[in-house]
Amino acid sequence: MIASMVPELARKYELFAHAADIKENLESMYSENSRASRYAATKELVALRLREGASVHEHVLKMITLIEKLVNLDVVLPSELQVDLILLSLPSSYEQFIVNFNMNKLDPTLDVMLNMLVIYEATIKKEKSVLLTAPSGKKSSFSKKRKSSVPSKHFAKGGSSGLKSGKVSKQANDVCHHCGKSGHWRRNCKDYIDQKRSEKGMYFIEVNLSVDSSSWVLDTGCGSHLCNDLQLMARSRRLDVGETYLRMGNGARVATEAIETIYLSVLNSDNQVVLNNCLYVPTLIRNLISIPVLDSEGFSFVFGSSACLIQKKNKVICKGQLVNNLYELNLNEIPINTISAKRKTDGLNPAQLWHARLGHISLRRMNEFTRDGLFSLEDVKSLETCESCLKGKMTKSPYKGQMERAKGLLDLIHTDVCGPLSVSARGGYSYFVTFTDDYSRYGFVYLMKYKSETFERFKDFRHEVENQLGRRIKKLQSDRGGE
């Protein structure tokens, strides 16, 4: 107990014989159960008031903390008195809550009451925000550059002069262009507002469609094929800055960065669509296929039944489906040119190759896939033992270290240094070193101010144990931590 005290306090209790006497003396000096502490907590609890606009959650939590502090000081307040103290601390904006609370004769716990007050606070803030909302969707006339004295309809009636700015309002002499009366403008005219509310509203709806930027759309008004992904190219040529510009539908000019050839693989078919001289424009949202360019290359088009058939020499090459009023081509998810880098087989037979591609599945699953017609392999039964599978299932034998125990005292000593400690011990010690005999498990602990004292402490330990036991230390073992 004395070791944990500050030096000034420890010197006072060095001559005390019993710990009980020390505890009793400390309680008399630092006990919270004093008249002054109870008075201070009670005074703060009774005088605490919630300011208008302040958080009721923090306020009630503070009062609950004071009530619990009084309980620790042996002052237990009745539950009804605790609730009354909280209600008395609320401002005038909570009068309706207090009336409803008393009329319903509620008897909740402090936690439930806190939740009720938080809900009521949110209701008050919502009502205030509605009152302060401008009557129209236009931008407010109050700004940093212009100070206006125009009153809001919630703060003035008819010809009221509005805000208390000390200046004459400009509205006082102006005439309303709707009703002809003076003292207000048309935007604040009651008759004009009522008329607009009675009229049938016009709504503008913006439809935001989630589109796939990698899809290809047929475009009759585009003079070139356009692409937004350079990885789709089979071969391309970079363009110099400013070499080629593209004029968009809104008149804006967009620079093209490359010209390329793209091969598109048609879904569920071996057909390909070759797009020659396709311009790379990274800012495009969708990839566009120019119908005029395909028409010049001998393609024909048939539109109908929400689809577009692209033909060449009376053969259907691909089909475009109507999606969100746009014709999109039905293509494979991965273009044919992006899968050109295939794994080298290294002389593997088809069974070994599919076994590796499918994540080294078992022979039984390979047979099931063959029966289901997913692929045709005649030599599944001849699948050789997979070297990768064998290596993956191997386990390493456990390492058996040297577990021999010492045969006698001081044959083997284990040592370790700990520190620096976050809090220094009395005397300024921040490190300690341990020496443990392997045979007897008897240990020694030496305190140190600095780690550099380790060797000196070892010499002290060595002289002590060797003189006591009449034996020599044969081996010293550490964790190689620099001791």
Q: How confident is the model at residue 157 (pLDDT cuts 50, 70, 90)?
A: very low
Instruction: Please give the pLDDT value at position 210.
Output: 46
Q: Which position has the higher pLDDT, 163 or 7?
A: 7
Using the predicted structure, report yes or no on whether residue 206 has a pLDDT greater than 70: no
Minimum mean pLDDT range among 153-167, 372-386, 404-418: 153-167
121 and 6 in one domain? yes
Using the predicted structure, report yes or no on whether residue 299 has a pLDDT greater than 80: yes
Instruction: Please give the pLDDT value at position 416.
Output: 92
Instruction: Please give the pLDDT value at position 465.
Output: 92
112 and 13 in one domain? yes
Final residue in a domain of this structure, among 90, 125, 160: 125
Alpha-carbon distance 120 to 163, whole Å? 30
Q: What is the mean pLDDT of residues 428-451?
A: 92
* 364 backbone φψ class: left, alpha, beta (φ>0; ψ -120 to 50): alpha
DSSP-assigned states of every residue in 163-193? S--SS--GGGT-B-TTT--BSS-GGG-HHHH
Supply 153's token pair.
């309809």
68 and 105 in one domain? yes
Supply 147's token pair.
């100070």
Question: Of 440, 445, 432, which is closest to residue 412 (Cα–Cα)?
Answer: 440
Question: Of 393, 390, 471, 389, which is closest to residue 437 (Cα–Cα)?
Answer: 471
- In this structure, the strands spanning 300-304 and 326-329 are unpaired
3-class SS at 310?
Answer: strand
Using the predicted structure, report yes or no on whether residue 391 has a pLDDT greater than 80: yes
Has residue 232 been placed in a domain? yes
Supply 258's token pair.
């490359």
Q: Which position has the higher pLDDT, 172 or 57?
A: 57
376 and 437 in one domain? no
Alpha-carbon distance 123 to 212, whole Å? 43
Instruction: Please give the pLDDT value at position 132.
Output: 45
- In this structure, the strands spanning 245-247 and 253-255 are antiparallel
Instruction: Please give the pLDDT value at position 339.
Output: 40
CA 339 to chain centre: 35
Q: DSSP label at 77?
A: -
80 and 6 in one domain? yes
Has residue 98 been placed in a domain? yes
Final residue in a domain of this structure, among 91, 125, 159: 125
Tokens 């009675």 -> residue: 198
Q: Cβ contacts of residue 145 below 8 Å, gap of 6+?
A: none
Using the predicted structure, report yes or no on whether residue 205 has a pLDDT greater than 50: no
Please answer whether residues 289 and 217 qualify as being in contact, where contact means their C-beta atoms are separated by less than 8 angstroms.
yes
Q: How confident is the model at residue 220 (pLDDT cuts 50, 70, 90)?
A: confident
Instruction: Please give the pLDDT value at position 199.
Output: 59
Q: Cβ contacts of residue 350 below 8 Å, gap of 6+?
A: 377, 379
- The CATH number linked to 434 is 3.30.420.10
The highest-confidence range among 245-254, 275-284, 404-413, by mean pLDDT, is: 404-413
Q: What is the mean pLDDT of residues 152-175?
A: 49
Tens digits of residue pLDDT in 265-291 = 776 666 778 888 888 887 777 788 888
Structural domain including 459 reads 413-477
267 and 236 in one domain? yes
Please answer whether residues 284 and 212 qualify as being in contact, where contact means their C-beta atoms are separated by less than 8 angstroms.
no
> Counting Cβ atoms within 10 Å, is residue 36 exposed (0-12), middle (13-18) or buried (19+)?
exposed
Question: Of 428, 465, 211, which is closest to residue 325 (Cα–Cα)?
Answer: 211
Q: Which position has the higher pLDDT, 455 or 280?
A: 455
3-class SS at 226?
Answer: strand
Q: What is the mean pLDDT of residues 62-91?
A: 86
Has residue 73 been placed in a domain? yes
Has residue 404 been placed in a domain? no
Q: How many domains does the chain have?
A: 4
302 and 354 in one domain? no
Alpha-carbon distance 177 to 183, whole Å? 11
Q: What is the mean pLDDT of residues 17-28?
A: 80
Has residue 159 been placed in a domain? no
Minimum mean pLDDT range among 44-53, 84-93, 181-190, 203-212: 203-212
Has residue 178 been placed in a domain? no
Q: Which position has the higher pLDDT, 138 or 278?
A: 278
The percent of residues above 70 in pLDDT, for the chain, comes to: 73
* Cis amide bond preceding 420, omega within 30: yes
CA 71 to chain centre: 41
371 and 428 in one domain? no
Minimum mean pLDDT range among 119-123, 160-164, 301-305, 422-426: 160-164
Alpha-carbon distance 444 to 465, whole Å? 10
The highest-confidence range among 128-142, 190-204, 242-256, by mean pLDDT, is: 242-256
Minimum mean pLDDT range among 28-32, 274-278, 331-335: 331-335
Final residue in a domain of this structure, among 92, 125, 158: 125
Please answer whether residues 70 and 111 qualify as being in contact, where contact means their C-beta atoms are separated by less than 8 angstroms.
no
Helices marked H in 386-435 — which ranges?
387-392
Instruction: Please give the pLDDT value at position 378.
Output: 62
Question: Of 84, 68, 86, which is closest to residue 76 (Cα–Cα)?
Answer: 68
Has residue 245 been placed in a domain? yes
> Counting Cβ atoms within 10 Å, is residue 204 exposed (0-12), middle (13-18) or buried (19+)?
exposed
238 and 323 in one domain? yes
- The CATH number linked to 295 is 2.40.70
Cα atoms found within 13 Å of the Cα of residue 74, Cβ hemisphere only: 5
Alpha-carbon distance 110 to 145, whole Å? 49
- Mean pLDDT for the chain? 75
Q: What is the CA radius of gyration of the chain?
A: 44
Supply 58's token pair.
């923090």
Using the predicted structure, report yes or no on whether residue 304 has a pLDDT greater than 80: yes
Q: What is the mean pLDDT of residues 245-256?
A: 72
Write the single-letter amino acid at 318.
C
88 and 24 in one domain? yes
Has residue 209 been placed in a domain? no
Q: How confident is the model at residue 361 (pLDDT cuts 50, 70, 90)?
A: confident
359 and 324 in one domain? no
The structure's pTM equals 0.29
In terms of C-beta distances under 8 Å and separation of at least 24 residues, what long-range contacts does 399-405 make, across chains too? 405/438, 405/439
Cα atoms found within 13 Å of the Cα of residue 472, Cβ hemisphere only: 1
> Counting Cβ atoms within 10 Å, is residue 259 exposed (0-12), middle (13-18) or buried (19+)?
buried
Instruction: Please give the pLDDT value at position 280.
Output: 81
Instruction: Please give the pLDDT value at position 320.
Output: 83
Q: What is the mean pLDDT of residues 152-158?
A: 42
> Counting Cβ atoms within 10 Å, is residue 239 exposed (0-12), middle (13-18) or buried (19+)?
middle
Write the single-letter amino acid at 80.
E
6 and 119 in one domain? yes
Alpha-carbon distance 270 to 248, whole Å? 34
Q: What is the mean pLDDT of residues 415-426?
A: 89
Q: How confident is the model at residue 104 (pLDDT cuts 50, 70, 90)?
A: confident
